[in-house]
Amino acid sequence: MPFKIIASQCTSCSACEPECPNVAISEKGGTFVIDPKKCTECLGYFDEPQCVAVCPVDNTCVVDTSLPRYQAPV
């Protein structure tokens, strides 16, 4: 499942944007959003999702359970 950002909690600090290895994060309407099509949960890049690790507000970058898990290409 890709990650999503809870807009009401996002401080728009921009820390996550440059850390995303998939360039999936961009600013939209004053807060940041993750493009679910690009998010790979950082699999294959890092041990932990970078947006979660760098975000200053806990529980703001969270798993989007409404979407299927990311499937690594075979």
Partner 1 sequence: MDVSAQHDASSIGHVAEVGEIMQAIAEHKGCGTSGGSGKASCGSQAGQGDLPTEIWEKVKNHPCYSEEAHHHYARMHVAVAPACNIQCNYCNRKYDCANESRPGVVSEKLTPEQAAKKVLAVASTIPQMTVLGIAGPGDPLANPEKTFKTFELISQTAPDIKLCLSTNGLALPDHVDAIARFNVDHVTITINMVDPEIGAKIYPWIFYKHKRYTGYEAAKILTDRQLQGLEMLTERGILCKINSVMIPGINDQHLVEVNRAVKSRGAFLHNIMPLISSPEHGTVFGLNGQRGPSAQELKALQDSCEGEMNMMRHCRQCRADAVGLLGEDRSAEFTTEKIMAMEVKYDAETRKAYQEKVEEERVAKVAAKQEELAELAGASSDIKVLAAVATKGSGLINEHFGHAKEFQVYELSTAGAKFVGHRRVDLYCQGGYGEEDSLETIIRAINDCHAVFVAKIGGCPKGDLIKAGIEPVDQYAHEFIEKSAIAWFKAYLDKVNRGEIEHVERGDAVIRQGALISAA
Residue number, 30 or 74, with CB nearest to partner 1: 30
Q: Distance between CA 41 and CA 64 in Å, rounded?
A: 11
Contact 27, 17 (CB under 8 A): yes
Of 10-18, 33-41, 64-72, which segment contacts partner 1 by CB under 8 A? 10-18
Could you tell me how many residues of this chain bind partner 1 (CB under 8 A)? 15
d(CA 9, CA 57): 7
Cα Rg, the chain, nearest whole Å = 11
Segment contacting partner 1 by CB under 8 A, of 33-41, 42-50, 65-73: 42-50
Q: Which residues bind partner 1 (CB under 8 A)?
A: 11-15, 18-19, 46-48, 50, 53-54, 56-57
